[in-house]
Amino acid sequence: MRIAITSGKGGTGKTTLSTGLFYVLTEYMKYKVQLLDCDVEEPDCHIFIKSPPTDSYPVTLSIPYIDPGKCTFCGKCKSICAFNAIIMLPMTKFIEVVTDMCRGCGACTYVCPEKAISEDYEEIGKVTYHDYLSSEGFIEGRMKVGKALQTRVIRETIKHAAQNGITLYDSPPGTSCPVVATVSKSDFAVMVTEPTPFGLYDLKLMTETIRNLGKKHGIVVNKAGLDFHPLYDYISAEKIPLLGEIPFRKEYAMAYSHGHILPEKYESLKQTFLDIFKMIINA
Amino acid sequence: MPDPVEIVILSGKGGTGKTTVTAAFSSLSGNVVFADCDVDAADLHLILSPEIYRSESFASGIKAEINLSMCNGCGVCQHLCRFNAIEPENGVFTVDEHACEGCGLCQEACPVGAISIKHHNNNRIFFSNCRFGPLIYGKLAIAEENSGRLISKIRQHAKAIALENHAGFILLDGPPGIGCPVIASVTGTDIVVAVTEPTISGWHDLERLMEMISGFHTTLYVIINKYDLNRDIACQIENNLRGKGINLLGKLPYDEAVVHALLHGQTITEYEPDGLIRHEVKKMWKTITSNIYEPKSIRKN
């Protein structure tokens, strides 16, 4: 079963929940569990899962190079490029690919009648394997700083996931393409939220997104304690399963700040996380 | 009339307090235009409760579509697509719209002309006025992409309105992360204010953000929000920033009043007019504005 841990708003507790679930399921349930950090822009799971990488694979993009000697400046590559990544000045016989805008689709190479375009690999990110609690228990996707094709890195990361057992995807925040790239490859989406107006507003956007993708889903309220009725009213009105709540305590915030996995440090939370998992499989 | 100074609030990690800080600045800043560049989850309007006077649609996804009555099932499109967006299902070729990047290669290559590229027009941009000035924000259509282009468009509109109003500043509430929406928010801005929190994750994410920003000609300030949740890490962050020669703009305490202010639809500075946070934020705004000596056109050179 593939479970994506998501949230419209950032900082609600995706990583707290994913690392916590990962810990209790391997440690107490002895399940074969794998955790994938799909928040490739800002991957933070490794701060909690403290183990060095055992293996790594580059994520690459095939970037075209146009040979100005062979180019006849017919303009076919420039006109097919949907990403405006080709600059051409026929008067000065100048043609170049803006690599930051190129998505490596290969359309220019395909249409070039002079075979003036060759391609070379450029690294845009990395997938690393880590042994933690079990062999290859944790896989991290990490986009190179300055690159912009996060969805590509996410898709490549997910390709490395084990095909059996339980896989947890720590999703990026938000509701757009990187989240869709993560959730569309999962069987169940957990939406983490917090009892504040921001938390609720972003949860509504998230619910729309997940429903649009047709995925089973449920909600975990983190930092619970603030009696913010509209959130609970929304959850019951929309009949979305409330999978569980993690209370707000300053000591939990402190433990998080140091990079501790919550149920590892607080025995009392072990059952909370196990119950959330039971709710997921029964939802 | 010099160009307005563009200030963007970023963080790397989500949930560190970008919107809270933006809203706090908004109540102090005077002649300013606001733009919410976190188009995935635009929240600034929840505090500023603006009145919308106009909205417009903006092109979102560009996706391939296969006309099944024309498709002869040759599989050329599937073979060429580098995004694995075309898969035959029971012998029928369909486009996975979430994987399609809209490059148009399949359309070009299809021997029977069965593929067309469809534009979706589902994103919206809202033009509004709030009690502190004009606010422009966007709403990304569900599960859509191109948030980078939507952000650039919002910024263009904000700039036009700022010039019209002779506004001195444009304040942008930015998205989390370091990917294309952040790049679209930073490109060409004058000042980046990064809001972090005293956690190892907060610092790790800020470091990646700072590395990304270092490629731009922009002044960077850092705020450590909720610094008293872990004073040791806050102190380490301060030292690290000093080591890198980066300006610490100030520190803000953890205060439950921030949430209560939000429940009242107020900025923290309105909710606690004599509070410590208002005092600190005022100092920060003064630092930012007093360091802008020359008009933008001169500073750029």
3-state secondary structure of B192: strand
Q: A197 and A266, same structural domain?
A: yes
| pLDDT reported for residue B295 | 46
Based on the fold, state whether residues B73 and B161 are members of the same structural domain. no
Q: Does residue A39 fall inside a structural domain?
A: yes
Residue B22, domain extent: 5-43+146-299
The arrangement of strands across the sheet holding B5-10 comes to B51-58, B123-130, B133-139, B32-36, B169-173, B5-10, B191-196, B219-224, B247-251
CA distances, B275 to each of A160, B24, B181 (Å):
51, 12, 34
Indicate yes or no: CB of B140 within 8 angstroms of CB of A175. Answer: yes
B208 and A145 in contact (C-beta within 8 Å)?
yes
Domain count, chain A: 2
Label residue B291 by pLDDT band (50, 70, 90).
confident
Residues of B in contact with A110 (CB under 8 A): 80, 105, 108-109
Q: Tell whether A192 is covered by a domain.
A: yes
Three-state DSSP at B129 gives strand
The CATH code of the domain that includes A178 is 3.40.50.300
Per the CB < 8 A criterion, the answer to whether A137 and A34 are in contact is: yes
Q: How far apart are CA A271 and CA A253, in angstroms?
A: 19
Residues of chain B with C-beta less than 8 angstroms from the C-beta of A175 = 40-41, 140, 142-143
Question: pLDDT tier at B121 (50, 70, 90 boundaries)?
Answer: confident
Q: Are A109 and A237 found together in one domain?
A: no
Domain membership flag for residue A189: yes
- Percentage of chain A exceeding pLDDT 90: 91
> Is A121 inside a domain boundary?
no
| Beta strands B191-196 and B5-10, pairing class | parallel
CA distance A184 to A186: 6
Buried b (16+ CB within 10 A) or exposed e, B94-129: ebbbbbbbbbbbbbbbbeeebbebeebebbbbbbbe
Residue B138 in this model has a pLDDT that exceeds 70: yes
Same domain, B159 and B284: yes
Place of tokens 């991957």: A43
- Say if residue B110 is in the same domain as residue B151: no
Q: Measuring CA to CA, how many Å separate A267 from each of A20, A279, B279?
A: 11, 20, 41
- pLDDT value of position A208: 94
- Please, what is the Cα angle at A188 between A182 and A194, to 5 degrees? 85
Does the residue B181 lie in any domain?
Answer: yes
Task: Give residue B296's pLDDT.
Answer: 46
A32, A158: one domain: yes
Same domain, A96 and A230: no
Same domain, B26 and B151: yes
Domain co-membership, A47 together with A88: no
- Chain A: closest CA distance from residue B250 (Å): 20
Q: Is residue B291 classed as helix, strand or coil in its secondary structure?
A: coil
- The more confidently predicted of residues A134 and A102 is A102
Q: Does B287 lie in the same domain as B153?
A: yes
What domain count does chain B have? 2
Q: How many CA atoms lie within 13 A of A114 on its CB side?
A: 14
Could you tell me if B212 and B73 lie in one domain?
no
Instruction: Looking at the complex, report in whole angstroms how far the Cα of residue B104 sits from the nearest Cα belonging to chain A.
Output: 7
- Residue A182 belongs to a domain: yes
| CB contacts, 8 Å: B183 with chain A | 148
Mutate to test the interface with A, among B79, B144, B199 (most CBs of A within 10 A): B199
d(CA A172, CA A5): 9
Nearest to B34 by CA among B169, B218, B192, B166: B169
Structure tokens at A223: 């930092």
Residue B112 shares a structural domain with residue B150: no
Residues A188 and A205 occupy one common structural domain: yes
What is the reported pLDDT for B143? Answer: 65
- Residue A269 to residue B42: CA distance in whole angstroms: 33
* A85 and A21 together in one domain: no
CA-based torsion, B260, B262, B267, B270: positive or negative? negative
Domain boundary among B74, B102, B119: B119
Residues B252 and B175 in one domain: yes
Q: How far lies A78's CA from each of A90, A96, A102, A171, B115, in Å?
A: 12, 10, 12, 35, 20
- The residue written with tokens 């805008």 in the block is A101
Q: How far apart are CA B137 and CA B44, in angstroms?
A: 9
Residues B17 and B73 in one domain: no
Across the range A262-268, mean pLDDT stands at 96
Q: Do B68 and B38 sit in the same domain of this protein?
A: no
A95 and A168 co-located in one domain: no
Instruction: Report if residue A120 sits inside a domain.
Output: no
Whether this model's ipTM surpasses 0.85 comes out as yes
Examine residue B231 and state whether it is found in any structural domain, yes or no. yes
Whether A84 and A139 map to the same domain: the answer is no
pLDDT score, position B134:
97
Query: What single-letter amino acid sits at B154?
Result: I
Determine, yes or no, domain membership for B138: no
Q: Which of residues 56-95 of A touch B (CB under 8 A)?
A: 62, 80, 82-83
| Contact predicate A3/A158, CB 8 Å | no
Q: What is the tens place of the pLDDT at every residue in A178-234?
A: 999 999 999 999 999 999 999 999 999 999 999 999 999 999 999 999 889 999 999
- Residues B170-224: tens digit of each pLDDT: 999 999 999 999 999 999 999 999 999 999 999 999 999 999 999 898 999 999 9
- In this complex, is the C-beta atom of A106 within 8 Å of any C-beta atom belonging to chain B? yes
* A29 & A74 share domain: no
Same domain, A151 and A259: yes
Is residue B129 situated within a structural domain?
Answer: no
Determine the average pLDDT of the residues in A64-81: 95
Q: Are both A105 and A14 inside the same structural domain?
A: no
CATH of the domain at B71: 3.30.70.20
Residues spanned by the domain of A226: 2-59+126-282
Pair (B35, B100) in one structural domain:
no
By C-alpha distance, the chain A residue nearest B63 is A82
Kindly state whether residues B72 and B176 are assigned to the same domain.
no
Q: Strand B62-66 relative to strand B115-119: parallel, antiparallel, unpaired?
A: antiparallel
